[in-house]
Chains A and B, each alone.
Chain A
Amino acid sequence: MSTTFVSRRSFLKVSALAGGGFMLGFHAIGKAMDNTLAEDVFVPNAFIKIDATGIVTLMAPNPEVGQGVKTALPMLVAEELNVNWNTVVVEQAPLNTKLYERQVAGGSGSIRSSWESFRKAGAAARQLLTEAAAKTWNVNVADCYSENSFIIHKPSGKKLGYGELASKAATLTPPVEVTLKDPKEYTIIGQRIRNVDTKSIVTGKALYGIDTKREGMLYAMVARPVFGKKLKSVDDSGARAVQGVKNVVRWENRIAVLATSTWAAKKGRDALKLEWEDDTKPESTRDHQEAFKKLIQQKHDAPKRNDGDAEKAITGATKVLESTFEAPFLPHASMEPMNFFADVRDGKAILFGPTQTPARTRTEVAKVLKIAEENVEVGMSRQGGGFGRRLQADYSVEAAMISSLAQAPVNVIWTREDDMEGGFYRPTGMYRYRAAINEKNELDAWYLIAAAGNQPNATRENSFPAGAVPNFRVDSHNLESNISIGPWRAPNHNFIAFTEETFIDEIATALKKDPVAFRLELLDRAKNNKFGTVAYDIEKYRGVIKLAAEMGNWGEQGKNGIYKGFGAHFSFGAYVAQVADVSVSGGKVRVHKVYCAVDCGRVINPSGAENQIEGGIIDGIGHALFGELTFEKGVAQQKNFNSYRLIRMPDAPLEIETRFIQSDASPQGLGEPCLPPVIPAVTNAIFAATGQRVKRLPVSLMTFL
């Protein structure tokens, strides 16, 4: 057991409310959730509600986009509370920045940031319940312990259920200091716990943003400008003639058609006669490629990292290797397209829908409506995937404006085409690598010049193999563009890992070294004679590389037509190494199996964690093989799943084998880190199978003989 203080923000502030209006503080949530909060409910903090019948409700404050936090975060509370998991009810909490920290789904950070505070919330409640029981029995608190939703008096064996103790516990002062369990005593953390929402999902009862229906609500579809265009003229007579269309409103360069059904709104929107004109210059993919080609030949005045003298080493090298890699734009293409409900009337805004950042939504809606943030209420629905797209607030702000202009509650629905054309994409980029080999047949210099659209920070210059190479330089050029970009699952890393790990493979091949042995040799160099600072832990990196190689029978090539490729990467606090088993026959690439070694600290829920890993790997494979969004004069050329190919079951591996490095370290992110390394693992395997190097994604652009 370890004693620890409850953090000011997550608990003290909440319990400070307790003196004068603790119940009130929670009442706001109760009201938003169900309007009924009985008098005898024990609400020790914003994470827990225990009623007299013993029902324990745990709040899940973070947005659930499919990453499993609605299951994993309450597990942390339940562990310390010593409740029977099967009796727990989990509820999604609405946005409340006074009660919760960081209600965000992004940066693989939900578990990372909540590990301490959620366990403390559970421990604090457990302590209050224990105290309540001791008071009831008039015994020493030290003689009481908790188990399975009961407080037990050790000497006499008397026990009382949490429900029976709830009202008494509610009258006690919350502790300032709590004692956390020894991890050896964990009975919930580390167990395979199934998704708490599966039953409602498989019966069609789980409600997503797109399912929101409210009294008097209209459905809206919006005509939006493509990149670089603005509205010149509008004729909405055709739209207004569609049966069911109730209103047409304009906000800046957007025209929204509001109707009594989604279909009428869509027919109305499609019947608008709109003329567009150039605003800024509409761009095409070709323009970006031409600009990148020039930029990657240029040195940047302010390198991101510059150890030794890479240029000089390259000039004097025995051998120089050079490779240029290209990344296309990628849309997020979450299964549930963008949508948001808004009801803006009388200076108040009620927003509800799928968002990864409810706080940002509130701030931006308040700003555009010119009302105070207190007058904006944001509720979070379950979300049909996010992948970063729902970190943006464009679609919620738009819904608020449309509702405000129409003075009606409205659910703005995006079609798949709207969603693909109006995105915040994974940026396109071009990376040029050069390496110098010296006379001792060693990697002596590494020089990356990156160029990416709207992304001045396209590199991770302290990543492996930084530290292992004496002359190491990284430059990053930004190409300004009017095409909006944004975080996309494992931002930057999703392309960096492919380029770094492919180039390392190329260098190993040129040095006639085994790619895994070469990576380990570089780690040795970084350990024994490190150049500059590095962002990774050398031993953890080595640990996953060795484990993946062992799991994936590294060294065996071509058996039964299966070729192996290796990839490793560190991102979002987690170390991941993978071996991909790939065959290429008849020009067709098939990934049969992926072996994945992960060091992400303590694993909260292995079933949920493995699901994230499998999802990340399949996502990575799919986008590496097929993902490409191109632009022609500001217009996305792939508008739906018939031209934008997503991975389907026959292209997914039959098996993914995951092993975690056992660790007591604080848990790290998992939603993102397993995606980046699988791309080079697959493309390096393709090289092993065909001798052809993949340098431009997607792989489907290549012809294999």
Chain B
Amino acid sequence: MNLKVENNILFVQTNLDKFNVSELKEQFLRLKKSRELQGVSVIDLEAVQEIDSAGVALLDSFQELLESEAKLLLMRGASASVRSLIETFSTTKLEFVEVPKPTGLWETVGESALNFYQMMVTALTLASEIFYYSLVGIFSRKTARKGSLIQQAFILGSQALPIVALLSFIIGFILSLQSGMQLKNFGVGVFLADLLSITMVREMGPLITSIIVAGRSGSAIASEIATMEVTEELDALRMMALHPIKFIVVPKFHAITIVMPILVMFSILVSQIGGAIIAVGVLDTSFENFVARSINILSIKDIIISFSKSIWFAWVIVIVGAFYGFQVKGGAEGVGKATTSAVVTSIFAVIVFDAIFSLLYL
């Protein structure tokens, strides 16, 4: 039996098309005769995946057959495509109701956990592809266009440089002002150089730079890829036997890997200038002394941490940007969403990674 009555709901458990409607109608009449349809006011179409005009006619006739009992049939659980077909072909006015599935707390939790898991799998797959092709790309000549690495590096660097410089200077200045006053109260103003140097090299330099680059270049990567997806440019690349990851992402990956450490170094230097102004102007340290202390306090380990942080953060930014770019759905609006998500997520991820790093290499 393809029709079943349960709790006053008539369940249709098959597709409805011209080949089975006659039989279903007989079933329906039998049910009606045996009075099983009494009280039925809802037809559940959840199991119906396909329906044609004959199927819709059948639903219409169900409605008419029950009308004699003065009942209005409501359709529920119809998929979007089934529903649109019914709305096109129905001659009587079939009414739809949405029946929200009862979702318990655990189902909701489970579902979002599953979604998160799937997202992580996609992101990790993408990350591994990016790493793989970036590695291969170093040795093979023809993955991207000539000159695109230099071009990308230049764009990335020159975009971020002014604002990195300005922000680093301000932060170096403020940090020194705040902590310099405290140090002076204890009579150890000379230590400002040590303090600032360590903070900037190990923490603030990579962090500030990454946040700026995430905002600038991470968003640019996401929006570029998303736009290309929406305008079929990615498909066009595929048709030219080119691989979007190799062609678009890898040059950016290489460029950012080169540029980021330079930007971080630059950020640290500029912040020291801000610090030096306070040290010389307010704390009466000599400039030479400040510079010497700043350099002497640093160990090789500090520099390695700074360097590896900057590269890791750079990779996080590219991968997150590319991830949201490729994930884009639905036209120009989707591009905006992808870009926003990319920036928010990459800044979040950079800070989380920073915390992990700091815990690992205390």
Q: Do A and B bind each other?
A: no
Show the binding face of A for B, using Cβ within 8 Å: none
Show the binding face of B for A, using Cβ within 8 Å: none
